[in-house]
Amino acid sequence: MCRHLAYVGEPVRLADLLLTPPHSLLAQSWSPRDMRGGGTVNADGYGIGWYTGEPEPVRVRRPAAMWTDAALPGLAGSVITGGVLAAVRSATIGMPVVETACAPFVGGRWLFSHNGLVRGWPSAVAALASRLPVTDLLLMDAPTDSALLWLLVRARLSAGVAPEKAVASVVTEVAEAAPGSRLNLLLTDGSTVVGTAWTHALWVRSLPGAVVVASEPYDEDPGWHEVPDGHLVTATPSNVDIMRLGDP
C-alpha cells in the first residue's frame, strides 16, 4: 500500500527526514508497521521530490527498493531543503513496476503522492477519466490508478480550484465511483501540505518552524497525532487544520 511523507518548514537534510530516524521511510520500505493487508514490504520503487528555490521542484525516482540504491545516502546527506515529498511503493497486483509509476508525480510547483488503490480499476473510474483531455490521458506517467488520481487533481488545480478543495473533490468523487477504494493522498507546493486519510492511516506532527504529514510516525515522539479516517488535513509550519470529508 506504499508509504509516504511530506515536510515543509525550516531547511533540513533529506537524510534526517528519510534515512536516519528509527522508523524512517527507508525502514518502512522493508518493515512497515501499518499496511492493513496491503502487502508486506514497499520494494517496488521509491521517489523523492524537493524544493530548491526554483519555480519547480527537483525529483528523483527509481523502480527498485529504496534500500538497494547505493547512491541515495550520499544524495540525501548533501541535500538541504525546506520542502519534501517522498514515497516508497508497493505496487498493486497488475500495476506496472516502472520508474514512471513511482510517486511523487509532478506538475509545475506541485508534488503529489497516493497511498492505496482504486477498487475496480480501471472501469470504475472510466467516466471520471473521460472528463479529462485526451492528450492528458495519452501522456499520463503510467497506466496506474495513482497516475490518474494525479491527473484529476491537477486538472482542478489548473482550473484555479484551491488545493484542499481539489483533493477533497477527487477523493469523494472517486470513492463514490469506486467504493472501498483506499485514497490517502498527499499534495504539496513546498509551503503547504494537503493530505487525506481514507481507509488508511495518516499522521501529522508539528515541529518548531515545520510540519510533517506521513503514513506512519518515523519515531516515538508523542507529538504525532493521527488524522481520523475520512478526514482531510491542511498543514503549514504555523497551522494544522483537519476537516471531515465523509464516511469511507
Catalytic residues: 2
Torsion sign (Cα): 56, 211, 45, 95 = negative
What are the distances in angstroms from CA 174 to CA 46, 121, 138, 169, 188?
25, 11, 20, 8, 20
Rg over alpha carbons for the chain, rounded to the nearest Å, is: 16
| Run of H or E including 246 | none
Assess contact for 99 and 63: CB atoms under 8 A.
yes
Query: Is 214 in a helix, a strand, or coil?
Result: strand
Alpha-carbon distance of 90 to 51, in angstroms, equals 25
Alpha-carbon distance of 247 to 145, in angstroms, equals 21
Assess contact for 183 and 1: CB atoms under 8 A.
no
Please report, as a single letter, which amino acid is at residue 133: P
